Amino acid sequence: MTTLLGIDLAGRCVLVAGGGPVAARRVHGLLAEGASVRVVAPALCEDLADLAAAGAVRWRCDGVTEADLDGVWLVHTATGDAAVDQRVAGWAQTRRVWCVSAGDAAVGSARTPAVTRAGDVVVGVVSDGAPDPGRSREVLRSVAEHVRSGGADLRRRRRPDGAGRVVLVGGGPGAVDLLTLRGRRALAEADVVVTDRLGPTDVLTELPADVEVIDVGKTPGHHPVPQDEINRVLVERAQRGQTVVRLKGGDPFVYGRGGEEVLACREAGVRVEVVPGVSSALAAPAAAGIPLTHRGTVTAFHVVNGHDGLDLAARVAVRDATATVVALMGVSVLPDIAAAALAEGADPATPVAVVENGATPQQRVTRAPLHAIAEQARRVGVRAPAVIVIGAVAAPGLLDPGPADRHRPDPHLPDPARPGTMAP
C-alpha cells in the first residue's frame, strides 16, 4: 500500500542520476523545495547545463556509482537505462535511502505525486498498487480546480504564535466571477473578512458560517467606521493569530486606501500582502463596450478622483482631446466636473458616458455631450456607484456590433450593445 508523506527537503542533499529532460523537470521541482541537488550524468541537456553553469546544482560528469549515494536523503534516478535505474534503486534499498525511479515507479521505494499548491497547502495524488501517472494527473486536475477556485475551506486549525496576517483583496467591480482566483483563495483561508459596501459581496454567502464578517462599508456622505478604526481592527485581529481578509471593491491601491492599511500593518509588525483586483476604472467602461484607448481615436487615459475635480493633466486632456478621462466617485460632482472641463476650453460636444453598476446585471449607461451630461444624468436619476468616461471613445456607435454580435450568450451579464439610457 502506498502512503503519502510530506518530506521537508530544504537544505538536504538529493541525488539525481541522469541528465535528460525528465531529470531536468525533477531538478526544478527539487530546487523549488529548497533541496541541495547533486546531478550525476555523462552529459546534460541544455536546461540542466544552464543550472549547472549558474551553480544551482552540483554536477559530476560520469556514470552514477554507489558512492554517489553517500550523504543523500533521497535519490531520483532518470538515466533512461532501465538496468542502471534498477541498480541505483538497489543501492538505495541497501542504504535505506528513499528512491524514486522515473522510468518505472514499481522499481523505486517512493513515488512522486502529481502536485498542486494553494498558498501553503500542497495537495498530492498518487496511484496505489500499479503506477498510473495519467490517472493521478486527471484526478489532481479536478481537485486543483476546486481548491484553487476557493471552494475548499483552507483556514488554519493550528495557529503558531505570530502566524496572523492581513490580506488586502481587490474584489473587482462587483461581479463575483471578476474576483481573481487568488482573491477567492484568500477568502477561503480567512477567519475574519473586513468588507466594504462595494465589490463582490455576494461571495460572502459562499463562506463557512463561522467566518466572521465585519462590515465597514461607506456610502456617500456617511462613513460610520473611520479609517483609523478599520486599521485598528485589521491589526488587532491579525495580532490574535487570525487570517484577516480586507475585501475591497476594485483594486486596493486605486482610491481604496490600501496604502494606508499596508502602512498600519507594517508599523505594527503584522504580515500583510496585497492581491490586485480589476479596477472599476477599467472594468466598467469595458463592460459597457467603451475602450479607454482605441487606435486612430486616442492612445492614453487618465484616472481621477471625482471628489477632487479635474487636475491639470485631466483638464488638458479634455481640452485638447489627447486622452480619455475616467472619473471615479464623481456622480455627486458631475456638474462641477463638466463645468470645469468647459471652462478649460473643452469642446461642448465631447462625448461623455456614465456607467452605473458596471459589469453587473444592474449596469446602465447614460450618454450625452459634455454640455448636457449633468442635466441628462439628473433627469434619469444616475446614482453611485458609477464611472464617468469623458472623450471620443464614449461616443455611441464607436464599437457598433455586427448582426452576429447582437445576442450575447450569457444572459446574466449586461449587453454593451443595449445601453440603459441614451441621450438623443
Residue 405 clears pLDDT 60, i.e. is over it: no
Residues 224, 293: one domain?
no
Q: Which amino acid is at 364?
A: R
Q: Note the pLDDT of residue 114.
A: 72
CB contact set of 80 (below 8 Å; sequence gap of 6+): 18, 20, 22, 103
| Omega before residue 361 within 30° of 0, cis | no
The catalytic residues are 196, 218
What is the percent of the chain with per-residue pLDDT over 70, rounded to a whole number? 88
Domain assignment present for 291: yes
pLDDT band at 124 (very low <50, low <70, confident <90, very high): confident
Residue type present at position 292: L
* Cα(218)–Cα(197) distance, integer angstroms: 6
| CA dist., res. 235 & res. 372, Å (int) | 47
Per-residue pLDDT at 4 exceeds 70: no
264: its cell numbers: 498600519
Q: Tell whether 101 and 174 lie within a shared domain.
A: no
* Domain CATH for 334: 3.30.950.10
Q: How many domains does the chain have?
A: 3
One domain, residues 293 and 262: no
**Can you tell me the distance from the alpha carbon of 294 to that of 313, in angstroms, rounded to the nearest whole number?**
19
Decide if 121 is inside a domain.
Answer: no
Exposed, middle or buried, 96 (CB in 10 Å: 0-12/13-18/19+)?
exposed
Are both 35 and 102 inside the same structural domain?
yes
C-alpha cell at 60: 559530476
Find the helix or strand (DSSP H, E) in which 238 lies: helix 227-239
If asked whether residues 336 and 255 sit together in one domain, one would say: no
Q: Which residues pair with 301 in a beta bridge?
A: 324
* Together in a domain, 287 and 274: no
φ and ψ at 329, to 5 degrees? 55, 45
pTM: 0.69
**Would you say residue 154 lies in a domain?**
no
**Residue 168, pLDDT score:** 97
Rounded mean pLDDT of 311-327?
Answer: 95
256 and 290 co-located in one domain: no
In the block, cell 541541495 appears at: 36
Assigned domain for 155 exists: no
Give residue 104's domain range. Answer: 13-112
Closest to 234 in 3D by CA, of 280, 195, 201, 288: 195
Phi/psi of residue 75, nearest 5 degrees: -120, 130
Q: Please check whether residues 91 and 174 belong to one and the same domain.
A: no
Q: And the C-alpha cell for 358?
A: 458596471
| pLDDT tops 70 at residue 222 | no
Q: Which of 187, 196, 179 is nearest to 255 (CA)?
A: 196
For 367, the enclosing helix (H) or strand (E) is strand 364-369
Is 60 exceeded by the pLDDT of residue 137? yes
Q: Is residue 122 part of a domain?
A: no
- ω into 385 cis (within 30 of 0): yes
Of 24-38, 109-123, 197-211, the poorest mean pLDDT is in 109-123
Compute the mean pLDDT over every residue in the chain, rounded to the nearest whole number.
87
Report yes or no on 1 lying in a domain. no
Asked whether the predicted pLDDT for residue 406 surpasses 80, the reply is no
- Of the pLDDT bands very low, low, confident and very high (cuts 50, 70, 90), residue 46 is very high
Helix 334-343 × helix 373-380 angle, to 10°: 170
**What is the predicted pLDDT for the residue at 291?**
95
Q: pLDDT (tens digit, 9 = 90+) per residue, 151-204? A: 777 777 666 666 799 999 999 998 898 999 999 999 999 999 999 888 888 899
CA distance 171 to 247: 6
User: What pLDDT does residue 409 have?
Assistant: 43
Are residues 269 and 349 part of one domain? Answer: no
